[in-house]
Chains A and B, each alone.
Chain A
Amino acid sequence: ETGVTQSPTHLIKTRGQQVTLRCSSQSGHNTVSWYQQALGQGPQFIFQYYREEENGRGNFPPRFSGLQFPNYSSELNVNALELDDSALYLCASSFHGQGKEMIAKNIQYFGAGTRLSVL
């Protein structure tokens, strides 16, 4: 097991609603990344949090937002849900180093995901 936990495991929402997904990172890791995986696709990078700030963002609209807490856990919030938001949402934890350490320790470990269905 990776030690990365996500909750809830499954969620059903309707269009226009808001959702919050949660992630606890692996011990010793300080960075959390969120990915969206639609059926039949590879995961797509949403954003990454380091030191409680967004550290990088993929091609997702502002209604996708997040938080990181002092214990390195994280939340993903999605407002005004759309049908196309139905997907597996994956959280990955890693250690953010500097320079060569970043390259050496950049492996990301994934949680089991939250499967979101928007009706």
Chain B
Amino acid sequence: RKEVEQDPGPFNVPEGATVAFNCTYSNSASQSFFWYRQDCRKEPKLLMSVYSSGNEDGRFTAQLNRASQYISLLIRDSKLSDSATYLCVVNELRGYNKLIFGAGTRLAVHP
């Protein structure tokens, strides 16, 4: 079983759509959670941290359920510029700072 699992997609949605990405992780001791965004042939960039209370940044909402080891990302009112791969990331912080990435979910927003 992979440490972080995501739906590979691709998700093809029209502009203005709402899209949800799901992710599960296997290590219950994981302590920090993130969504990174990666454009084609570029480096991953932090989109947002994910907290148990849920958090929102504009059109983006992230949720964490520690009991079920599940992380989600909701994008409302999709823009063409949201087209990218979204990486679910877990940090176990086991004395050192190691990020464990899912394989990513590709999103394509079309006019």
Contacts of B110 in A (CB 8 A): none
B43 and A113: CB pair below 8 A? yes
A102 and B99: CB pair below 8 A? no
Q: Count the A-B residue pairs with Cβ separation under 8 angstroms: how many?
A: 67
A66 in the interface, Cβ–Cβ < 8 Å? no
B42 and A44: CB pair below 8 A? no
A106 touches which one: B32, B41, B42 (CB < 8 A)? B32
Interface residues on A, range: 20 to 34
Q: How far is the CA of A43 from the CA of B99 in the complex (A)?
A: 9
Contacts of B98 in A (CB 8 A): 33, 45, 48, 56, 58
B101 in the interface, Cβ–Cβ < 8 Å? yes
A48 and B43: CB pair below 8 A? no
Q: How far is the CA of A80 from the CA of B98 in the complex (A)?
A: 26
Interface residues on B, range: 20 to 34
A110 and B93: CB pair below 8 A? no
B44 touches which one: A45, A56, A90, A106 (CB < 8 A)? A90
B99 and A108: CB pair below 8 A? yes
A103 and B32: CB pair below 8 A? yes
B73 in the interface, Cβ–Cβ < 8 Å? no
Chain B residue, CB-CB nearest to A31: B97
A96 and B101: CB pair below 8 A? no
- Asked whether A50 and B99 contact (CB < 8 A) given A106-B32, A112-B43, the answer is no
Task: List chain A positions with a Cβ less than 8 A from chain B.
Answer: 2, 31, 33, 35, 40-45, 48, 50, 55-56, 58, 88, 90, 92, 94, 96, 102-103, 106-113, 115
